Amino acid sequence: MALIGVIGAGVMGVGVAQNLAQTGHDVVLVDKDEQILKEALETIARNARMSRLMGGPALDADEILSRITTSVGVGGAAEAEVVIENVTENWEVKRAVHEELDKVCGPDTVFVVNTSAIPITKMASITQRPDKVVGVHFMNPVPAKPACELIPGFHTSTETVERTRDLLKAMGKKAIDVKDACGFVSNRVLMLTVNEAAYLVHEGVATAESVDEVFRSCFGHPMGPLETADLIGVDTILYSVEVLYEHYADSKYRPCPLLKQMTDAGLHGRKSGRGFYTYN
């Protein structure tokens, strides 16, 4: 089984690493800090042990962890056949990571960009392998979601797309083909919805609880938009909306000031213990 590099041990990186390991792949999980990696492994072990209770399959936490090694710095992914990058939704941060990966990885290594908004062609342009760069927008929580968006850039080769499609299938994912446009399908719609829901709270039209109740009770959604924001991360929502606003120069993507204030205050949702709601 090919070695897969997972870059970034945040919420998405943890989910991708777990999903890969529980489907039999060998993984090297990379981040810039040993403590972050230690906490990531603890989260994966906890998620595996809780899987059955949360309606998922019974998982062997020790077996999953045995397939995951960790590395401080991207040099640990030098031998990977595929690297999946999951760092924060910020162009400057992602660019720096891909420039570094491009130097240490072999010429045949495929770069998978896990992004909710940044165009893949733009991302590929800063590497020396644009034909081997492809986008995959994983959904959170990654192990529980059966599908994702598969986005080739302008130069992405058919071989790269099919290699990635095969990997996603092996992970239990249906790949939905989407063209390379900022925000793709899901976030062109979802981020507008979450941003507008935040405006409703910001303007005092309704509480977060009331906004979400409308979507659950009237439309049958399992989660309201602000619960979804807390799950994804309020800061991630803000960064995604900002990318859309910058790319399209369209006022409909103007970020809600409340999202900015919450991000600055550290109210990032579930991962920080408080967002639109408070978590234990």
pLDDT digits (tens, 9 = 90+) for 43-87: 999 999 999 888 888 999 999 999 999 999 999 999 999 999 999
Taking the C-alpha atoms of residue 94 and residue 115, their distance in angstroms, rounded to an integer, is: 10
Element spanning 137, H or E: strand 133-137
* Percent of residues, the chain, with pLDDT higher than 90: 94
Q: H or E segment at 261? A: helix 257-264
Q: Please say which residue of 131, 156, 177 terminates a domain.
A: 177
CB atoms within 10 A of CB 95: 16
Q: What is the pLDDT of residue 1?
A: 66
Q: Tens digit of pLDDT for each residue in 60-69? A: 999 999 999 9
Mean per-residue pLDDT over the chain, rounded: 96
Q: Which of 119, 150, 177 is the last residue of a domain?
A: 177
Asked if residue 202 and residue 171 are part of one domain, the reply reads no
The domain of 227 spans 186-271
Q: Which residues are catalytic?
A: 116, 137, 149, 187
Cβ-contact 276, 234 below 8 angstroms: yes
DSSP three-state, residue 15: helix
**CATH number for the domain that contains residue 255:** 1.10.1040.10
Q: What is the pLDDT of residues 163-173, one digit of tens each?
A: 999 999 999 99
- Residue 228 placed within a domain: yes
Residues 202 and 122 in one domain: no
Evaluate whether residue 193 is within a structural domain: yes
* Binding site listing for NAD(+): 8-13, 31, 89, 94, 116, 140, 271
10 Å Cβ neighbour count for 181? 15
Spatial distance between the Cα atoms of 14 and 11, rounded to a whole number of angstroms: 5
Co-location of 173 and 213 in the same domain: no
User: What number of other Cβ atoms are within 10 A of residue 116's Cβ?
Assistant: 26
The verdict on 140 and 257 lying in the same domain is no
Domain shared by 145 and 240, yes or no: no
49, 109: one domain: yes
- Predicted pLDDT at 152: 98
**pLDDT above 70 covers what percent of the chain?**
100
Last residue of a domain, one of 122, 151, 177: 177
- Nearest Cα to Cα of residue 234 among 196, 207, 271: 271
In terms of domains, do 52 and 137 share one?
yes
Residues 152, 15 share a domain: yes
